[in-house]
Amino acid sequence: MTVGWVALVLVPAMATGQTATSPGVSTGTAGSAAVQVYRNAELHLTFSYPAELAPVDAAAVAAVGRRMVYGSSEESDDPDHPTPDLCTKLLLSVGKGSERQAGTWVRLGLLDENAQCFPAKVFQNKKATDALLRNLVKQGTTVMGMMPVAQPVGYLLQGHRAGFCGAQGAPVTDSDVQTGGDQLIGVVAAVVDGHVLGWVLETNDPATFNRLLGSPVDLGAGKAERLFPGATQ
């Protein structure tokens, strides 16, 4: 584990307000940085992310969503349980570069996990909800060849219960081959008005990872907050 990378996870960059001109994805600024802004009226969600990121294939993000619902399994053994495709709705998949090429690459995804895919009782009290969120972010970042940088942590994101977990390493592919240099993956999950939202962050650059953790999020409270404010210990 690289100590410098862990420090970045626990002390994300500051992020300030953003501007946007129209619904959906639009352009704006967060502090001095150019951003694109994703808006979802149904969820009362506004999320700003680096302007240089463009739409990318969603397969890798969807795979994280399946892990969040089913752990390491791609399928459910329960015939009455919804399939992964019904549990996970992809809201955003953007990135830059590729892990198969030299240089910095990044993927950023936003998922809406169907709350009906989880036992109803886990949303009935804070303790059970927090346990669910810790489990989801841990499952989302559990990848062969990668090690957790810290235990899952819980916090409030604009008053909504949220959890974060990160991992670092060189993932092992289905052919038992590691893909190359170290990379980071982070998952934030938050319960928002009957939805479980999941942000997926993947990159080989610590500074970029830190920047993504500082992305402004507004869930209808009026003033954006950083996606992850730091470990609450």
Residue 69 has pLDDT above 50, yes or no: yes
Range of the domain at 203: 54-213
In a domain, 29, yes or no: no
In a domain, 182, yes or no: yes
In a domain, 151, yes or no: yes
CA distance 141 to 143: 6
pTM as predicted:
0.82
* Helix ranges (DSSP H) in 75-227: 84-87, 126-140, 206-213
Higher pLDDT, 217 or 71: 217
Radius of gyration for the alpha carbons in the chain, expressed in angstroms and rounded: 17
| Number of structural domains the chain divides into | 1
In a domain, 40, yes or no: no
Q: How confident is the model at residue 6 (pLDDT cuts 50, 70, 90)?
A: very low
In a domain, 13, yes or no: no
Surface-to-core class of residue 100, CB atoms within 10 Å of its CB (0-12 exposed, 13-18 middle, 19+ buried)? exposed
pLDDT digit string, tens, across residues 82-125: 454 678 899 999 999 988 888 999 999 999 998 888 999 999 99
In a domain, 100, yes or no: yes
Beta-carbon contacts of residue 100 (< 8 Å; ≥ 6 apart): 179
User: What CATH number should be reported for the domain holding residue 192?
Assistant: 3.40.1000
In a domain, 193, yes or no: yes
CA distance 3 to 228: 19
pLDDT digit string, tens, across residues 114-165: 888 899 999 999 999 999 999 999 999 999 999 998 889 999 999 999 999 9
Distance of CA 233 to the CA centre of its chain: 21
In a domain, 14, yes or no: no
